[in-house]
């Protein structure tokens, strides 16, 4: 018999941070629909909600955004470390290593909101610093006048991003910042349960997200969209794939058996921005064509658009280098990890699941 593993269906903790209901297509952050947050609030406001349990008022929002901006600057030794790592080291390994280096003596049990804010503020700067080092381009200093997402794009390109691109990537950040007890969040809470520090827990979560079964970026979706190339090619290209028995990337999800609420929100953003960016117009057309054909070729299979399809559309539209896809996911998800670590601390009990021994027993003595 095959060995049982994976903890699927096992309840590991009670949480107020988020609800993922794949049957009904629900994604809730602390009592708010994630879709509504993505459409109407900044990433900073959504981070505030996850950490403090409520949305900020105007004064709190401005103060928190300023506080997050103030934590973007990296210590000199971390910059030196980033530059000293081998150029062929992948971005997620660099990020894991640089985040670990942040773990000075101030990061001790138990974690607090200040530690979380420093980590959330630092990660985009680590990504941008490494990107420019490998690209042999000048590092772009953070602009405190820009919001968290706009500044991330600015640090990468050196140009003020368009409002359309900021809106799209902000929605992506909000929609991917938290997703209940996924593998990386479980890793973070498990590490925190040992009374280790917040930075160790985040570094462990990065290690989990690095795995392609969890943090795999939507490369294949972008490749599909690039191969299709133009609206007039969509029907023929997709029909040929389906008739050959191949999978259409960006459709279907292990958890969501109805519409993925994250994809729905990003689609709504894309529809709003079709006049501002031709790529979004193209992506919406491909999605509509694919859904029609999937219903024809695979009736009743409930193959809806997943978040990777529109993540690909957003990343492509904002000209995000493909080497930064999973690292950008990390820059978003660190808020959810932090909220779970902070939730774990006051009710802490070490995670210690049992296993069933299936090996050979020695001869009794």
pLDDT tens-digit map of 57-94: 999 999 999 999 999 999 999 999 999 999 999 999 99
Terminal-residue alpha carbon distance, the chain: 29
62 is catalytic: no
For residues 252 and 161, the model is more confident at: 161
CA–CA separation, 365 vs 264, rounded Å? 64
Check 178, 308, 340, 343 and give the catalytic one: 308
Q: Please report which confidence band the pLDDT of residue 144 belongs to, taking 50, 70 and 90 as the band edges.
A: very high
Task: Answer whether 328's CB lies under 8 Å from 320's CB.
Answer: yes
Q: Please report which confidence band the pLDDT of residue 217 belongs to, taking 50, 70 and 90 as the band edges.
A: low
Task: Answer whether 44's CB lies under 8 Å from 68's CB.
Answer: yes
Q: Is residue 324 pLDDT above 80, yes or no?
A: yes
pLDDT, tens digit, 9 for 90 and up, residues 344-355: 999 999 988 888
Q: Is residue 114 pLDDT above 70, yes or no?
A: yes
Q: Which helix (H) or strand (E) holds 263?
A: helix 261-272
Buried b (16+ CB within 10 A) or exposed e, 222-237: bebbeebeeeeebbeb
Helix 198-209 / helix 113-135 crossing angle, nearest 10 deg = 50
Q: Nearest CA to 269 among 47, 39, 27?
A: 39
What confidence score (pLDDT) does residue 290 get?
A: 93
Task: Answer whether 119's CB lies under 8 Å from 68's CB.
Answer: no
236 is catalytic: no
- Cis peptide, bond prior to residue 110, ω within 30 of zero: yes
Q: Is residue 35 pLDDT above 90, yes or no?
A: yes
Dihedrals φ, ψ of 197, to 5°? -85, 165
pLDDT, tens digit, 9 for 90 and up, residues 127-138: 999 999 999 999
Task: Answer whether 134's CB lies under 8 Å from 299's CB.
Answer: no
Most confident of 151-160, 243-252, 279-288, 317-326: 151-160
Check 178, 253, 264, 343 and give the catalytic one: 253
Task: Answer whether 101's CB lies under 8 Å from 78's CB.
Answer: yes
Please state whether beta strands 18-21 and 32-33 pair in parallel, antiparallel, or not at all (unpaired). Answer: unpaired
pLDDT, tens digit, 9 for 90 and up, residues 285-302: 999 999 999 989 988 787
Beta-carbon neighbour count of residue 111 at 10 Å? 23
What confidence score (pLDDT) does residue 254 get?
A: 64
What confidence score (pLDDT) does residue 5 get?
A: 64
Mean of the per-residue pLDDT values for the chain?
91
Q: Please report which confidence band the pLDDT of residue 1 belongs to, taking 50, 70 and 90 as the band edges.
A: low
CA–CA separation, 207 vs 182, rounded Å? 13
What Cα–Cα distance (Å) separates residue 62 from each residue in 51, 137, 151?
16, 32, 16
CA–CA separation, 214 vs 265, rounded Å? 21
What confidence score (pLDDT) does residue 135 get?
A: 96
CA–CA separation, 35 vs 274, rounded Å? 19
Q: Please report which confidence band the pLDDT of residue 257 belongs to, taking 50, 70 and 90 as the band edges.
A: low
Task: Answer whether 304's CB lies under 8 Å from 258's CB.
Answer: yes
Q: Nearest CA to 298 among 245, 228, 256?
A: 245
pLDDT, tens digit, 9 for 90 and up, residues 156-214: 999 999 999 999 999 999 999 999 999 999 999 999 999 999 999 999 999 999 988 78
Task: Answer whether 211's CB lies under 8 Å from 183's CB.
Answer: yes
CA–CA separation, 18 vs 351, rounded Å? 20
Residue 329 is encoded by which pair of tokens? Answer: 């996911």
CA–CA separation, 271 vs 268, rounded Å? 5
Q: Please report which confidence band the pLDDT of residue 151 belongs to, taking 50, 70 and 90 as the band edges.
A: very high
What confidence score (pLDDT) does residue 331 get?
A: 98
Residue 3 is encoded by which pair of tokens? Answer: 């060995």
Task: Answer whether 358's CB lies under 8 Å from 12's CB.
Answer: no
What confidence score (pLDDT) does residue 56 get?
A: 98
What confidence score (pLDDT) does residue 260 get?
A: 79
């Amino acid at each position: 018999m095959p060995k049982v593993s994976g903890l699927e269906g096992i309840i590991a903790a009670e949480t107020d941070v988020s609800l993922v209901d794949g049957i009904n297509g629900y994604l809730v952050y602390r009592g708010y629909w994630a879709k509504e947050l993505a459409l109407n609030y900044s990433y900073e406001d959504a981070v505030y909600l996850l950490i403090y349990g409520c949305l900020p008022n105007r004064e709190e929002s401005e103060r928190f955004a300023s506080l997050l901006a103030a934590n973007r600057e990296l210590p000199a030794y971390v910059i030196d470390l980033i530059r000293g790592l081998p150029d062929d080291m992948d971005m997620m390994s660099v990020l894991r290593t640089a985040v670990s280096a942040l773990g000075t003596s101030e990061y001790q049990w138990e974690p607090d909101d200040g530690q979380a804010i420093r980590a959330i503020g630092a990660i985009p700067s680590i990504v941008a610093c490494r990107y420019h080092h490998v690209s042999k381009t000048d590092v772009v200093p953070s602009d405190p006048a820009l919001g968290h997402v706009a500044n991330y794009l600015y640090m990468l390109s050196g140009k003020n991003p368009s409002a359309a691109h900021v809106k799209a990537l902000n929605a992506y950040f909000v929609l991917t910042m938290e997703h209940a007890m996924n593998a990386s969040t479980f890793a973070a809470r498990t590490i925190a349960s040992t009374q280790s520090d917040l930075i160790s827990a985040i570094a462990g979560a990065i290690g989990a997200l690095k795995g392609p079964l969890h943090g795999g970026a939507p490369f294949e979706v972008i490749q599909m969209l690039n191969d299709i190339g133009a609206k007039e090619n969509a029907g023929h290209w997709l029909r040929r794939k389906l008739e050959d028995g191949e999978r259409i990337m960006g459709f279907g999800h292990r958890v969501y058996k109805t519409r993925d609420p994250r994809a729905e929100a990003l689609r709504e953003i894309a529809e709003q921005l079709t006049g501002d960016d031709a790529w979004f117009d193209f992506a919406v057309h491909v999605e509509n064509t694919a859904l029609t054909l999937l219903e024809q070729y695979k009736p009743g299979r409930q193959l809806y658009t997943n978040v990777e399809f529109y993540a690909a559309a957003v990343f492509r539209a904002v000209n995000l280098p493909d080497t930064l896809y999973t690292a950008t996911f990390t820059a978003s998800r660190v808020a959810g990890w932090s909220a779970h670590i902070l939730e774990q601390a006051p009710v802490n009990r070490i995670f210690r699941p049992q296993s069933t021994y299936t090996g050979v027993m020695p001869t009794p003595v």
